[in-house]
Amino acid sequence: MNVHQSVLLQEAINGLNIKPDGVYVDGTFGRGGHTRYILSALGAKGKVIAIDNSSAMLSKAKARLKKSGLSERVTFLEADAASADLSGFDFDIVFAFNVSLFYKGAGPSNVFDRVASGGHVGVFYQNPPGSDKQRLFNMLENVTAGLTSQGFTVLKRPVLKSVVSAPTGGVVAVKNRVA
């Protein structure tokens, strides 16, 4: 079976504090590798909302998950993560890899507003190979500002050493609990 190995699968998801019965949004479903990994950490009640704005990517990855018997706990949405209709969902974690909208301005309030109190967000980027590390740092700075302005506290900003040719890192943050 040809199972796609997602970039930095474990490094990206570790630290997100996955709860077995949580509801998770994968804002960039892509070939489904990160969603598979999240599913493997969930129990019977856990769910993933898998979003991708490419119908081709979505239908191929959806078919692969179905074949492996993993699609029952996944809701698929073909949408731009910035404007996806997430009403009716309350979720604990948002995970996204290489999606530009999370570092433009304040970030998508339709997504961040709905994260449960105490829930986590992990946003990761891999810059083009050979690009300046400063570019990654600037991006992480923008994401931090966006998340902070929308009620999150940044827990860590991992810069991954395992990828030498392409600066890669992210921001992991937790939604502040309202007193």
Q: How far is the CB of 8 from ligand SAM (least distance, A)?
A: 10
Residues that bind ligand SAM (CB under 6 A): 4, 6, 28-34, 51-54, 57, 80-82, 97-99, 101
Q: How far is the CB of 130 from ligand SAM (least distance, A)?
A: 18
Instruction: Render 102-150 in DSSP notation, one character per residue.
Output: GGSTT--HHHHTTEEEEEEEEEEEEPPTT--HHHHHHHHHHHHHHHHHT
Q: For ligand SAM, which is the closer residue by CB, 19 or 64? A: 64
Write down the least CB distance from residue 53 to ligand SAM, Å: 4
CB of 3 to ligand SAM, least distance (A): 11
Q: Diameter of the chain by CA atoms?
A: 49
Q: Of 49 and 178, which CB lies nearer to ligand SAM in the complex structure? A: 49
**Of 63, 62, 112, which Cα lies nearest the Cα of 91?**
112
Q: Which C-beta is closer to ligand SAM: that of 4 or that of 157?
A: 4
Smaller CB distance to ligand SAM: residue 29 or 103? 29
Residue nearest to ligand SAM (CB): 30
Nearer to ligand SAM, 150 or 168 (CB): 168
Burial of 130 (0-12, 13-18, 19+ CB in 10 A): exposed
Rounded distance between C-alpha atoms, residue 36 and residue 88, angstroms:
23
Q: How far is the CB of 80 from ligand SAM (least distance, A)?
A: 4
Backbone phi, psi, residue 66, to 5°:
-60, -45
For 130, the token pair is: 């050979």
